């Protein structure tokens, strides 16, 4: 069975052959293949992605390629993709999305929905009133369509309108269009007029150098855009016939889809017919003309059209005579940068003026070129567009991580990402490892970019270093407004004496580049100030009590002891925890080991090993155990005791700077001195035997966990990144 999109393509092909001919089909097919061929290798993360839903080359060139060029001239990075090639993975690689004439599909709907989840903003760009049947039914050619042809056309209009409604903001090409869009859809609209590209200017300059004028010959050109322009030609027919009768030296050049009326039969020897020209050849064609005619039949649909014909002619100093309506009326200054006509008589008078006043006409055409170069070229006109887009984008924050592998420090950052996203931020994690799968967070997911797999060119409002090894990346990243360093530990001591990493880690606390220090630990805030003179903003760490749910322990049967930490990190001191276990009666206890990295050493007694458990599953491990033994030498903010206490379990802990912030011996836990294994064993046995002690510790533990609920700390977390 063929897909519906295939059926639609077949119907459009038949319609094009029947109504526009094989040459038009070839041109459209070539453009379709070009956009179909575009695929994003995901190697570069940029600011904006344009999603092109139009197979016609002319509109897509002006509204996609030229707007991309405008943004690039303002320092932004962009990509283009054909709407049928859009996939959900592209969400992580761009800050904003511009849909041009894009009909809705199931995939487009899902994409925009997921974009909103990540606080990515979607814009809809439209350059014609082809988004509502109340407008398209006013086009005589469209209104005349019958049966399946009309259904096919209307289907495209309806689907395009649906995408428009799903998007957040609108962009269009003329004030008339903007007024209709605001009135109909109530969305904010930017008018970003069609402008010429740099290559158009270059090609026009080349054509202008070759431009010649004939002494006894005036060439008037009518370059039709499509078959729907036949009624427009009727406006100028009487004036043209009168002029050609009056001036034997006048020639008429017509190009494109135009059914030339029989009244022009007497002038066949002075009529030049040309087929559609590629846009790169168009400057040469227009440069051959003395006068360019741009008539528009009066209608809301035509009033919304752009002034492209004037722009293209002005670049090669060809005079344009246009209908005094819509964009022409707004942009062209009569007798200064062009000529405007409102009636049959005026069309005749303006054409006659241009023929009989060649020097004045040439001066008007030169003035038009100056106006176009100043106000209608991509390079000089992108600021309003870039400001509009930027003003509506969510603030974006990137957290630079050595790796996204689960760890206590990463879990803290993931929670901060969740809080920021839920408060409207566009949040990404940038992994310095060859790894780019999204992180499954506590409340959903976090977008992940890999600095190894991707070149990241997009702009960030804020970049946050998360470990000493990520600070250099944050400092050197060029397109960022604010740089932060989330200090979670004294990382100098992560390495053993004599290792180079100790010096490099220590240097990050004495940064000469402007970087703001933030922390989630009071002891880190203290030593940053006392030892390095750095003032750090502090916000407490919290816990998700919706995940870490309290459940009383019965202490019936075997008691489950949990040991947590990477066996490869000496400062985690996991060996000491297992030395304590060696002194326990294994008939009474069952030993569980949770590690995000290192595996059990050969001598460890482990009944069940929990390895690399996803962050949003860790709470289940704590809830299944009764007592935590934690013997770390160094911690930033030690989560495991808090997580065990929140679930109703008990903690036997060696105090360090990272846990004494919330632990109190005999109130919410039992503490033992580092290395004092005998005391640790004694306290574990006491917990098992003393139900009253457990009841007392349980009250203090629940109070501590409640005071650390993320719900109560969100505002303090948000202030870190303001």
Query: Tens digit of pLDDT for each residue in 303-362?
Result: 888 999 999 999 999 999 999 999 999 999 999 999 999 999 999 999 999 999 999 999
Statement to judge: residues 211 and 120 lie in one domain? no
Average pLDDT over residues 204-212: 95
Q: Give domain status of residue 550, yes or no.
A: no
Cα-Cα end-to-end distance for the chain? 54
Mark out the alpha helices in 376-452 (DSSP H runs).
378-381, 383-392, 408-422
* pLDDT at residue 155 greater than cutoff 50: yes
Contacts of 176 (CB under 8 A, 6+ apart): 300, 303, 304, 326, 327
Residue 131 has what pLDDT? Answer: 87
Statement to judge: residues 158 and 16 lie in one domain? yes
> What percent of the chain shows pLDDT beyond 70?
93
Residue 381 has what pLDDT? Answer: 98
What's the mean pLDDT when you consider all of the chain?
91
* pLDDT at residue 435 greater than cutoff 60: yes
Q: What's the pLDDT tens digit per position in 439-475? A: 888 778 999 999 998 899 999 999 999 999 999 999 9
Q: If pLDDT is split at 50, 70 and 90, which confidence band does 16 have?
A: low
CA–CA separation, 318 and 300 (whole Å): 28
Residue 275 has what pLDDT? Answer: 86
Statement to judge: residues 172 and 38 lie in one domain? yes
Statement to judge: residues 581 and 604 lie in one domain? yes
Q: Give domain status of residue 506, yes or no.
A: yes
Residue 299 has what pLDDT? Answer: 83
* pLDDT at residue 3 greater than cutoff 60: no
* pLDDT at residue 24 greater than cutoff 80: no
Q: What's the pLDDT tens digit per position in 390-427? A: 999 999 999 999 998 877 788 889 999 999 999 999 99
Statement to judge: residues 369 and 429 lie in one domain? no
Which CATH number fits the domain that encloses residue 104?
Answer: 3.40.50
What six digits make up the tokens of 522?
Answer: 């009071």
Least confident span in 185-194, 226-235, 664-673, 692-701: 226-235
Statement to judge: residues 310 and 208 lie in one domain? yes
Decide which of 538, 573, 607 is a domain's last residue: 538
Residue 496 has what pLDDT? Answer: 85
Residue 213 has what pLDDT? Answer: 82
Average pLDDT over residues 225-231: 59
Q: If pLDDT is split at 50, 70 and 90, which confidence band does 428 have?
A: very high
Q: Which residue, 640, 494, 630, is CA-closest to 574?
A: 630
If one compares 260 and 585, the residue with the highest pLDDT of the two is 585
Which CATH number fits the domain that encloses residue 667?
Answer: 3.40.50.2000
Statement to judge: residues 95 and 208 lie in one domain? no
Sheet containing 78-82: give its strands across: 78-82, 48-52, 96-100, 121-126, 169-172, 189-191
* pLDDT at residue 37 greater than cutoff 50: no
Statement to judge: residues 54 and 104 lie in one domain? yes
Q: What's the pLDDT tens digit per position in 94-144? A: 999 999 999 999 999 999 999 999 999 999 999 988 888 888 877 777 888
Statement to judge: residues 184 and 215 lie in one domain? no
Residue 22 has what pLDDT? Answer: 47
Residue 231 has what pLDDT? Answer: 77
Q: Give domain status of residue 18, yes or no.
A: yes
CA–CA separation, 449 and 118 (whole Å): 14
Domain that holds residue 242: 198-376
Q: Give domain status of residue 435, yes or no.
A: yes
Residue 645 has what pLDDT? Answer: 97
Q: What's the pLDDT tens digit per position in 532-547? A: 999 999 999 999 999 9
Q: Which residue, 583, 582, 584, 564, is CA-closest to 574?
A: 564
Residue 655 has what pLDDT? Answer: 96
CB count in 10 Å sphere of residue 642: 27
* pLDDT at residue 39 greater than cutoff 50: no
Statement to judge: residues 368 and 400 lie in one domain? no
Query: How many domains does the chain fold into?
Result: 4
* pLDDT at residue 23 greater than cutoff 70: no
Residue 216 has what pLDDT? Answer: 86
């Amino acid at each position: 069975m063929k897909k519906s999109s295939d059926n639609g393509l077949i119907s459009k092909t038949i319609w094009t052959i029947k109504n526009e001919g094989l040459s038009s089909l070839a041109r459209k097919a070539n453009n379709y293949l070009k956009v179909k061929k575009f695929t994003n290798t995901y190697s570069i993360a940029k600011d904006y992605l344009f999603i092109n839903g139009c197979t016609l080359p002319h509109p897509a060139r002006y509204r996609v390629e030229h707007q991309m060029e405008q943004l690039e001239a303002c320092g932004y990075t962009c990509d283009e993709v054909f709407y049928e090639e859009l996939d959900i993975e592209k969400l992580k690689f761009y800050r904003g999305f511009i849909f041009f004439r894009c009909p809705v599909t199931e995939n487009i709907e899902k994409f925009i929905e997921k974009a909103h989840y990540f606080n990515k903003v979607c814009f809809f760009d439209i350059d014609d009133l082809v988004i509502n049947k109340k407008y398209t039914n006013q086009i005589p050619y469209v209104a005349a369509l019958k049966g399946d042809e009309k259904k096919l056309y209307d289907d495209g209009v309806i689907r395009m309108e649906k995408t428009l409604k799903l998007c957040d903001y609108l962009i269009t090409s003329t004030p008339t269009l903007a007024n209709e869009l605001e009135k109909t859809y109530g969305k904010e609209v930017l008018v970003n007029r069609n402008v010429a590209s740099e290559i158009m200017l270059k090609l026009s300059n080349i054509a202008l150098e070759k431009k010649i004028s004939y002494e006894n010959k005036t060439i008037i050109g009518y370059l039709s855009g499509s078959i729907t322009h036949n009624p427009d030609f009727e406006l100028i027919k009487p004036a043209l016939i009168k002029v050609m009768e009056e001036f034997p030296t006048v020639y008429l050049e017509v190009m494109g889809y135009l059914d030339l009326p029989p009244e022009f039969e007497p002038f066949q020897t002075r009529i030049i017919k040309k087929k559609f020209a590629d846009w790169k050849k168009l400057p040469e064609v227009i440069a051959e003309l003395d006068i360019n005619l741009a008539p528009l039949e009066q209608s809301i649909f035509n009033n919304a059209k752009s002034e492209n014909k004037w722009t293209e002619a002005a670049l090669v100093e060809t005079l344009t005579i246009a209908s005094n309506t819509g964009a022409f009326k707004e942009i062209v200054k009569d007798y200064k940068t062009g000529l405007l006509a409102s009636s049959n008589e005026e069309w005749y008078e303006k054409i006659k003026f241009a023929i009989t006043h060649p020097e004045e006409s040439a001066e008007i055409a030169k003035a038009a070129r100056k106006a176009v170069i100043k106000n209608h070229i991509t390079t000089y006109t992108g600021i309003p567009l870039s400001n509009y887009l930027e003003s509506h984008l969510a603030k974006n924050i990137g957290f630079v991580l050595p790796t996204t592998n689960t760890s206590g420090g990463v879990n803290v950052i993931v929670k901060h990402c969740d809080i920021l996203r839920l408060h409207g931020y566009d949040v990404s994690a940038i992994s310095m490892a060859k790894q780019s799968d999204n992180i499954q967070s506590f409340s959903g997911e976090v977008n992940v970019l890999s600095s190894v797999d991707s070149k990241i060119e997009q702009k960030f409002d804020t970049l946050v270093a998360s470990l000493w090894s990520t600070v250099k990346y944050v400092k050197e990243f060029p397109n960022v407004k604010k740089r932060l360093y989330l200090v979670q530990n004294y990382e100098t001591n992560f390495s053993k004496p004599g290792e180079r990493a100790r010096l490099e880690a220590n240097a990050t606390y004495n940064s000469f580049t402007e970087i703001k220090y933030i922390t989630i630990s009071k002891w880190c805030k203290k030593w940053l100030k006392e030892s390095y003179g750095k003032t750090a903003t502090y916000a407490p760490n919290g816990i998700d009590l919706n995940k870490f749910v309290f459940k009383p322990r019965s202490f019936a049967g075997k008691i489950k002891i949990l040991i947590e930490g990477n066996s490869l990190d000496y400062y985690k001191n996991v060996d000491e925890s297992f030395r304590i276990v060696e002194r326990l009666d294994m008939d009474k206890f069952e030993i569980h080991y949770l590690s995000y990295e290192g595996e059990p050493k050969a001598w460890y007694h482990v009944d069940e090993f929990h390895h690399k458990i996803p962050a949003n599953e860790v709470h289940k491990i704590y809830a299944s155990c009764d007592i935590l033994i934690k013997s770390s030498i160094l911690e930033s903010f030690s989560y495991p005791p808090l997580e065990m206490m929140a679930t109703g379990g008990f903690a036997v802990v060696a105090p360090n700077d990272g846990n004494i912030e919330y632990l109190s011996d005999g109130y919410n836990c039992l503490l033992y001195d580092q290395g004092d294994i005998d005391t640790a064993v004694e306290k574990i046995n006491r917990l098992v035997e003393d139900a009253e002690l457990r009841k007392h510790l349980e009250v203090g533990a629940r109070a501590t966990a409640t005071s650390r609920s993320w719900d109560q700390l969100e505002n303090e977390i948000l202030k870190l990144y303001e």
